[in-house]
């Protein structure tokens, strides 16, 4: 099912964010930072060769993996010999060094330890920070007209304040025609440093085009959307969480509090298509729903075990159903496992992705980045979910027709036309579901 916010790229769960460039992200206030390199006091011939610039990045990557990778045996790769091999090569430039790095990382046998070129690293940091510098427009290519179209302006952004509306066609950006631009190319034109300007030419309702000049600002991206649904005689708070960014927890808190004030009698938390994000964000959100109980534990290569539990600060104890699917991964699984195993929620949907590892993300000296797996995580039961996922309490499979219908018309997601949501409402309204034992519901399979 193609949810509008789904990202099929790197599924990540960040325990800590390593940043070598001052002021890059505000994540530094909530996560730990440490030195990227292991310092040596003597210079071998190999180290002297590092004066060749591409080898700097190669060795930065080697050092990080050497000090942090979760498997101390490096998947039976002699990592010391690998360093010699890497530094003895002649590189024609950064691209050839990047390729050598990727090939060396493949030998570790871990799909989540990966190298990120500068553009990929910037995209990842924007996602996990939940911020970007731009004017706040969600864009799409209209399938019928092939025109660059505004899906929606982000609330309180320069775009929304300027009156840009869903359905507007952007025909020129900085006087460049958008006719042959991809979404990525258009986004790159619109994004820029805070305080600089971008000019847009817009066509609305086939009327003559008009121009707008917008000043770029730091935009907080919404990770949470929610609404109060009237379902028969009850009001249900529906919350969709797209990813666990650094702003997700505060947005979740606002959603729960607002829906509670509007007298929601229960909640549906939609984690379908959510690829994860920041570990600490997942823990914070779990604490909003759980008054007590274990949430998750992480174990690093030295056997260090870090445990996270509820802190008695739950916002609500109202009945809760969590929606998941095969693309609910990483921090989504941490939250799902904690809520399910503590009998705080009933889980509806299909088995989750099965990513039971934690990554640390480092910025490198040339603007590229490295994600390296540093720990395994486990739900309260201690069961290893890696490559296995979490089974729902109530399995509801979507037919191909369902998937096509919801993909073509995403506004149907989270309505009675969405079979998984419809089942969640049924579970909420089922008499055995109570505040004291919200998971007391016989598992069934619906096809």
Does 146 qualify as catalytic in the annotation? no
Query: How far is residue 402's CA from residue 417's CA, in Å, rounded to a whole number?
Result: 9
* Catalytic residue selected from 104, 330, 363, 368: 330
Find how far residue 344's CA is from the centre of its chain: 24
Query: How far is residue 48's CA from residue 40's CA, in Å, rounded to a whole number?
Result: 12
What are the structure tokens assigned to 296, written together? 């998750």
Does 328 qualify as catalytic in the annotation? no
* Catalytic residue selected from 16, 18, 55, 355: 355
Query: How far is residue 213's CA from residue 216's CA, in Å, rounded to a whole number?
Result: 10
Query: How far is residue 71's CA from residue 19's CA, in Å, rounded to a whole number?
Result: 23
Residues forming the active site: 330, 355
């Amino acid at each position: 099912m193609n949810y509008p916010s789904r990202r099929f790229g790197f599924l990540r769960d960040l325990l800590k964010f390593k940043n070598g460039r001052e002021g890059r992200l505000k994540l530094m206030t909530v996560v730990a930072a440490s030195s990227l390199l292991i310092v040596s006091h003597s210079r071998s011939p190999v180290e002297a060769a590092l004066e060749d610039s591409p080898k700097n990045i190669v060795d930065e990557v080697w050092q990080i993996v050497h000090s942090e990778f979760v498997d101390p045996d490096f998947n039976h790769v002699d990592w010391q010999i690998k360093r010699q091999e890497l530094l003895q090569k002649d590189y024609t430039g950064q691209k050839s060094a990047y390729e050598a790095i990727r090939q060396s990382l493949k030998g570790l046998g871990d799909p989540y330890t990966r190298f990120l070129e500068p553009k990929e690293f910037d995209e990842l940091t924007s996602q996990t920070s939940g911020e970007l510098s731009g004017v706040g427009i969600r864009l799409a290519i209209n399938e019928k007209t092939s025109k660059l179209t505004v899906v929606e302006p982000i609330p309180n952004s320069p775009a929304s304040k300027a009156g840009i509306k869903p359905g507007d066609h952007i025909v020129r950006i900085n006087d460049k025609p958008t006719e042959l631009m991809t979404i990525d190319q258009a986004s790159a034109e619109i994004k820029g440093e805070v305080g600089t300007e971008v000019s847009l030419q817009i066509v609305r309702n086939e009327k003559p085009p008009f121009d707008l000049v917008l000043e770029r600002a730091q935009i907080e991206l919404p990770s949470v959307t929610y609404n109060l649904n009237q379902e028969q005689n009850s009001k249900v708070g529906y919350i969709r969480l797209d990813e666990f960014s650094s702003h997700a927890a505060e947005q979740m808190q606002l959603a729960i509090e607002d829906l509670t004030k509007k007298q929601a009698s229960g909640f549906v938390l939609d984690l379908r298509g959510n690829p994860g994000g920041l570990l600490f964000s997942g823990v914070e959100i779990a604490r909003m729903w759980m008054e007590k109980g274990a949430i998750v534990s992480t174990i690093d290569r030295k056997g260090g075990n870090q445990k996270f539990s509820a802190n008695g600060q739950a916002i609500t104890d109202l009945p809760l159903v969590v929606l998941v699917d095969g693309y609910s991964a990483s921090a989504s699984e941490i939250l799902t496992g904690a809520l399910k195993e503590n009998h705080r929620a009933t889980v509806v949907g299909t088995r989750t992705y099965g990513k039971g590892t934690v990554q640390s993300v480092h910025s490198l000296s040339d603007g590229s980045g490295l994600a390296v797996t540093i720990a395994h995580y486990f739900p309260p039961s201690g069961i290893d979910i890696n490559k296995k996922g979490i089974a729902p309490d109530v399995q509801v499979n979507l037919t191909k027709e369902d998937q096509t219908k919801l993909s073509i018309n995403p506004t149907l997601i989270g309505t009675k036309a969405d079979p998984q949501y419809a089942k969640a409402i049924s579970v909420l309204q089922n008499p055995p579901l109570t505040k004291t034992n919200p998971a007391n519901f016989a598992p069934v399979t619906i096809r």
